[in-house]
Copies of this chain bind each other. A is one copy, B any other.
């Protein structure tokens, strides 16, 4: 009997948050406004406030859900028998894979530094792996600080010293004021543009830094015990 209009799916906190994540995935965190979010849901902005207390609550909810995604992904990966270092490494790289699907997460976490339950749980798992490996809680504590955002799979890069191929002109132009960086760029010449998580945050570079820290922790653990 004719068009029965759209089914008008009900709103819910879950649906709001999922839509917010989809919106951020597609158009960036800046596109997540209450009005745009409502539009995406076929509702009005103020209607969201019945399910969500305010925008920060939306942000926190998004982080919580991504944290769950990380934990689920990690649950599906067998705990290696290669020692705590391999296990922690694995967990963190798994987290990173999830974050690569949601590149806005780093920004979100820097805006809202409240700890969501699922992200704390992720850290709890890391602490557990380290402790099982024989590290003291004191060392683990220092280690968590040393890892910082790396525990979640990303590193804050301050700028992008070599996005794309560095032209020779660029190098000679900066050679005057920045002799050392110029020399480095001339020699290193980033060639793998397979980056993405924000800013020049290569998988290779990420793993290098991660291993540097894990090795350091391992060394300090062996030396002490």
- Seen from chain A, the residues whose Cβ lies within 8 Å of a Cβ on chain B are 106-107, 109-110, 113-115, 117, 119-121, 123-125, 127-128, 131, 137-138, 140-142, 144-146, 148-149, 151-152, 155-161, 177-181, 183-184, 187-188, 198-202, 205-206, 208-209, 212-213, 215-217, 219-220
The verdict on A113 contacting B184 (CB below 8 Å), with A146-B212, A212-B212 known, is no
Across the interface, do A145 and B178 meet the contact criterion of CB distance under 8 Å? no
7 contacts between A and B (CB under 8 A): A106-B110, A115-B160, A120-B161, A137-B187, A141-B184, A142-B208, A145-B155
Main secondary structure on A side of the interface with B:
helix
Complex CA–CA separation, A127 to B110 (angstroms):
27
Across the interface, do A156 and B148 meet the contact criterion of CB distance under 8 Å? yes
Which of B188, B199, B216 is close to A137, meaning CB atoms less than 8 Å apart? B188
What's the minimum C-beta distance from A67 to chain B, rounded to whole angstroms?
10
The verdict on A142 contacting B177 (CB below 8 Å), with A113-B199, A115-B160, A148-B157 known, is no
Complex CA–CA separation, A220 to B213 (angstroms):
12
